[in-house]
Chain A
Amino acid sequence: MGKTGLMRLAATALAAFTIGATAAYADDDMNDPYRAPALSALAGKKIAYLPISIGFDLAQAWGGVVKTEAERYGMSFSSQDPNWNTDAMAQGMTALIAEHPDVIVTQNPDMQSLARLLKQANAEGIVVVQLNMQGAVQTDAFVGPDFIAMGEQAANMMLAKCGAETQTSHKVAIVQGVLTGGVSYYQVQGMMKVFNEHPEIQIVSSQAADWDASKARAITETALQQHPDLCGVIDVWDGQGIGTGAAIKQAGKQGQVYFITSGGGAQSMCDGLLDGTYSATINYNAPGMGRDAWTAITTALQNNQGAGVIKTQIYSPTRVMTKDDVQAGTCWDPQQYAKILR
């Protein structure tokens, strides 16, 4: 074999190696060893969605995101709307447990009502994801903001505007939701923790408005009447806060009264920031929570440990927003998610 022969052999070998390598690589690509088990852990599974109501922006975003993803992976998704009725919700939950879906995604109306049922569901092997409000029992996952921390955050924001260093009356009003609801209760607990360390802050009113904007409006109007020099108001939810903001506006106090509220970041939040109804908001991004819930579902179905074995608190990231942060597309449109759920 001459020199050229050797070269030819080398070239052939190289070509063969290249082809072989490509073939081997292609073979690898066809068989991602982790994808098939993951998909089969999800395919054909049943997800049941039971929030306290499907009629409000947060629940529509959570359910919309989870449903979209569930359908993408060949899972079935069903939802029920108890329409704010705790009894109907408990009945729905009991029926669901008998139906035995693989996953229940729910939102507690309060701490206790569903606690036993959720425990029972877990015991029967159903993965349970709790949204926004932790019941008295921990299940596979809780997805929601850390409301105590959020209350503290709101209180600290208020201190910057009405605290000791400011030339204000230091008077602050708090508008609660319902007294026993965790979303409201824990936020107020966080706020009071901060305010109790700052004796200069005077809480002139702290009342529950029952998640109703009209009540919030009436309460805030009276508070403003009693304390025309009010420095700030914190409302625990923007859906109710629209009434609080309306009272501030109608009293001609926009600009004087700093109004902080929080919510899931639906379009109404951006609109409220733009027209000055809210001075600042803490946005816990409801579609993001939907994604967290979806992550919790896929994790629980893939880890093969059984329902209720691994329990995780998944606290939602939050973002403080003012008028300056609002651009086109900053907030999301609840109609879009409502359509998905229909």
Chain B
Amino acid sequence: MNARKLFRYLNQEKIVFLLTVLLFVAFSLTLNNFLDGNNILSLIRSVAVLGILGLGMLIVVLGRGIDLSLVATMAISIAWSMQLIHEGMPVYAALTTGLLFALGVALFTGILVAYAEIPPLFATLAMATFVYGFGRAHLIVGTDVVYMPKTMGWIVMLGQGKLFGVPMPIVVAAAMALIVFLFLKFTKVGNFVYAIGDNLAASRIGGIAVRPMLVLQYVLSGGIAFVAGIITATSVEAMNTRIVNSNMIYDVILVVVLGGVGLSGGRGNVRNVIVGTLLIGVLMNGMTIMDIQYTVQNVIKSLILLLAIVVDSIVNPRDEQTGQQGDI
């Protein structure tokens, strides 16, 4: 295989996967206990929530959108649920309320994008600020950290339990990945997501109800955000709404883009998200074992994102069509 063929063979997903394997081998050889089964589980577990959010982002990005309100929706919806439980609402009613809030917010975002035709970047950015501001002002009236009520029952197991020795956050993330994979691959609606992301105008001419489809994508991602919230809140035993101010949403974009999902829509699948998430997991776990401070970790992470974007633009050059649509 000559160099040109090799280059053509390598797409971003393969490059990132190769990078992950290289890092994995390097860490296994240099760090004590890295290869330990429990460490591998804790490695995957620490990025499980990131992976789940990545799935939500994937669905939106495939349809040529982006959802910057994921983290805000996640934090406020579950924090409000737990606050309602503290105030005496039954657990299931409170969780249903939180879920409906997440879905409602996402529905509204979807309508803004699909019907008001506001660019997703701005619509979701505004929604993130709105959800957080509204939530802090009117829903979560006490401290910005809402502690987990002791009465949550079996739901706590989603964050803390184990299934055949595997921590539940990993099991939930894997199940979600499977569901999203099946949805995108085998359902008609899932295929429409790709079609719309690939060519919106042609999809419309082809008879796809483009606007409701766009709304659906945001609603799905809102629901996924709520699931990620439950996992976070039950494993940490608290939901810190300040997380909205952190750079977590960029980490979500990072795992999606890193894995090779094209931000211009229509390209990518669940495997990409898994590969991207694993790279971040291996990287963060290794750096934590090496006792590298998170500020430095952020620098390293962002350099890798930059590298991935550069490689992406070389391997997948912009063509006239994506140029017209405008990249995000």
Contacts and interface: CB of A to CB of B under 8 A. Distances in A.
B82 to A, nearest CB: 13
Given A210-B246, A222-B42, A225-B42, A215 B294 contact: yes
A223 B240 CA distance: 22
Interface stretch (A16-24, A49-57, A144-152, A164-172): A49-57
A208 B298 CA distance: 12
Given A225-B33, A225-B42, A242 B143 contact: no
B237 A246 contact: yes
A83 interface: yes
B289 interface: yes
A218 B160 contact: no
A212 B160 CA distance: 18
Nearest to A250: B160
A222 B237 CA distance: 18
Contacts of B242: 53, 55, 84, 211-212
A85 B133 CA distance: 14
A173 B243 CA distance: 24
Given A208-B294, A222-B42, A222-B288, 17 more contacts: A53-B144, A55-B242, A84-B245, A205-B288, A208-B293, A209-B294, A210-B294, A214-B49, A219-B288, A222-B39, A222-B46, A225-B36, A246-B236, A268-B145, A275-B150, A334-B142, A335-B142
Given A214-B240, A342-B141, A226 B46 contact: no
A56 B293 contact: no
B142 A213 contact: no
Interface string A312-342: 0000000000000000000000110010001
Interface string B28-45: 000011001011001001
A217 B39 contact: no
A217 B33 contact: no
A249 B160 CA distance: 9
Interface in B191-207: none
Contacts of B38: 225
Interface in B242-271: 242-243, 245-246
A271 B289 CA distance: 31
B151 to A, nearest CB: 13
B158 to A, nearest CB: 13
A63 interface: no
Interface of B: 32-33, 36, 38-39, 42, 45-46, 49, 136, 141-145, 147, 150, 160, 232, 235-238, 240-243, 245-246, 284-285, 288-289, 291, 293-295
Q: Which of B42, B142, B235 has the most CB of A within 10 A?
A: B142
Contacts of A60: 142-143
A206 interface: yes
A207 B291 CA distance: 7
Contacts of B49: 214
Given A221-B42, A222-B288, A207 B143 contact: no
B37 to A, nearest CB: 10
A338 B243 CA distance: 20
B236 A338 contact: no
A205 B294 CA distance: 13
Contact of A214 (B232, B241, B245): B232
Interface in A271-287: 271, 275, 277
Nearest to B32: A226
Contacts of A55: 136, 143-144, 241-242
11 contacts: A83-B245, A207-B293, A213-B236, A213-B237, A214-B236, A214-B243, A219-B288, A225-B38, A225-B39, A243-B238, A249-B160
Nearest to B237: A246
B249 to A, nearest CB: 14
A83 B237 CA distance: 23
B147 A56 contact: no
Given A84-B245, A217-B236, A225-B36, A242 B288 contact: no
Contacts of A123: none
Nearest to B144: A55
Contacts of B284: 218
B39 A226 contact: yes
Give the residue among A60, A84, A212, A245 with the most B Cβ atoms within 10 A.
A212
B289 A85 contact: no
Nearest to B242: A84
A268 to B, nearest CB: 5
Given A207-B293, A211-B242, A212-B243, A222 B142 contact: no
A60 B150 CA distance: 24
Interface in A179-212: 179, 205-212
A163 interface: no
Contacts of A232: none
A109 interface: no
A242 B246 CA distance: 18
A242 B291 contact: no
Interface string A244-265: 0110011000000000000000
Given A55-B136, A208-B294, A218-B46, A226 B33 contact: yes
A14 to B, nearest CB: 65
A242 B141 contact: no
Contacts of B39: 222, 225-226
A243 B295 contact: no
A243 to B, nearest CB: 5
